[in-house]
Amino acid sequence: MPPMSATATNRRAVGAASDAAAPAIRPAIRISELRKTFGHLVAIDNVSVDVQPGEFFVIVGPSGCGKTTLLRILAGLETASGGSIEIDTPAGSQRPANSMVFQGESIFPWMTVWNNAAYGLRMRNAPAAVIKDKVAHYLDATGLTRFAGYYPHQLSGGMKQRVSIARAFANDPEILLMDEPFSALDAQNKLLLQEELLRIWDEQKKTVVFITHSVDEAVYLGDRIMVMTAQPGRVKSFVRVPLPRPRNVIELQKAPEFGELVHRIWSNLRDEVQRAREQDEGAHDTGDGAA
Ligand SMILES: Nc1ncnc2c1ncn2[C@@H]1O[C@H](COP(=O)(O)OP(=O)(O)OP(=O)(O)O)[C@@H](O)[C@H]1O
Ligand SMILES: [Mg+2]
């Protein structure tokens, strides 16, 4: 049986670059001079970064700067126009290479909550007992046990988002790709799931690539934050988050270091958000925005 995603292959190289001299500890993800165009539009331009095994890597950037596109390329759902992406999977690993929590709704409307959460495991032909155990565990962790037999149309938006989070966690991938997974949630559930994510990450030492619009969330969760420029999306800066772990979100918010980091990232981001808005207004003024 093929793995869940036919695109989840080892060391997938696109374009010209290759790694002739691999370092002693290979990064979990190596992105080299990545470029993505859609027709004339340059969505991503010259992005290079190594994400280390077990790193919690966060991406922030203005709307339309190419964050989702970058994640889709990592997931193998989109091809790069130039540069290369390499994903390192430990030899002999039985786990899928990645699972993605998509921005917005992405669960199957014809499946119950339980079956949605079990989807990745079933596709991999996991033993029934493992499926039962994992799905029960993550439905519990996401507060959905009571709704296991419900269909998506019977759920709220935040509950649907939690189903897709449960599905990704239950699938137990090497790399977790998360595209604004908590943005549709109420504050209480967001807090609980952020804590749960950190707990799982800490326990399983997964590599996580996490997109968010919330600078607070980026600092609370991340080891390192990549700030992207307005379109075309390039690397504006990398910010390390040296805050000790385990982190407590409520306590952190009182810490001066937390405030300083948030301020630093937001200062970086503000110009880009402003630039993105000017681009939008420019497109409206000249009437070429609809192309
Ligand atoms: N399939 C596609 N065809 C054409 N253009 C696309 C396609 N996918 C994305 N784009 C364009 O690429 C740019 C980047 O889109 P992307 O969805 O990656 O942005 P984003 O940073 O995730 O934004 P947001 O924060 O709003 O989610 C946008 O201008 C978008 O219109
Ligand atoms: Mg997006």
pLDDT over 60 at 23, yes or no = no
Contact 167, 199 (CB under 8 A): no
Q: Radius of gyration (Cα) for the chain, nearest Å?
A: 19
Same domain for 127 and 213, yes or no, is no
pLDDT over 50 at 77, yes or no = yes
Residue 26 alpha carbon to ligand 1 centre in Å: 30
Q: Is residue 59 part of a domain?
A: yes
102-106, 137-141, 220-224: least confident range: 102-106
What mean pLDDT is predicted for residues 58-66?
97
pLDDT over 80 at 7, yes or no = no
The edge-to-edge listing of strands for the beta sheet with 56-60 is 98-101, 175-179, 207-211, 56-60, 224-228, 235-240
What b/e readout covers 239-273, taking b as 16+ CB neighbours within 10 angstroms? bebeeeeebebeebeeeeebeebbebbbebbeebb
What mean pLDDT is predicted for residues 25-32?
93
Same domain for 206 and 267, yes or no, is yes
CATH number for the domain spanning 265: value is 3.40.50.300
What mean pLDDT is predicted for residues 103-127?
93
Number of domains in the chain: 2
Same domain for 184 and 266, yes or no, is yes
What mean pLDDT is predicted for residues 163-175?
91
Contact 195, 141 (CB under 8 A): no
How far from 242 is each of 61, 203, 237, 239, CA to CA, in Å?
Answer: 21, 19, 16, 9
How far from 74 is each of 128, 151, 192, 215, 255, CA to CA, in Å?
Answer: 30, 30, 27, 23, 34
Percentage of the chain exceeding pLDDT 90: 66
Q: Is residue 180 part of a domain?
A: yes
pLDDT digits (tens, 9 = 90+) for 206-249: 899 999 999 999 999 999 999 999 999 999 999 999 999 999 88
Residue 202's Cβ-count burial label (10 Å; 0-12, 13-18, 19+) is middle
Q: Is residue 1 part of a domain?
A: no
Q: Quick one: tokens of 289?
A: 């925005």
Task: Indicate the pTM of the whole model.
Answer: 0.88
Q: Is residue 78 part of a domain?
A: yes
Does residue 103 have its Cβ closer than 6 Å to ligand 1? Answer: yes
Residue 120 alpha carbon to ligand 2 centre in Å: 23
* Owning domain of residue 139: 105-172
Residue 103 alpha carbon to ligand 2 centre in Å: 6
Does residue 64 have its Cβ closer than 6 Å to ligand 1? Answer: yes
Same domain for 135 and 120, yes or no, is yes
Domain boundary among 118, 144, 172: 172
- Top pLDDT among 274 and 106 is at 274
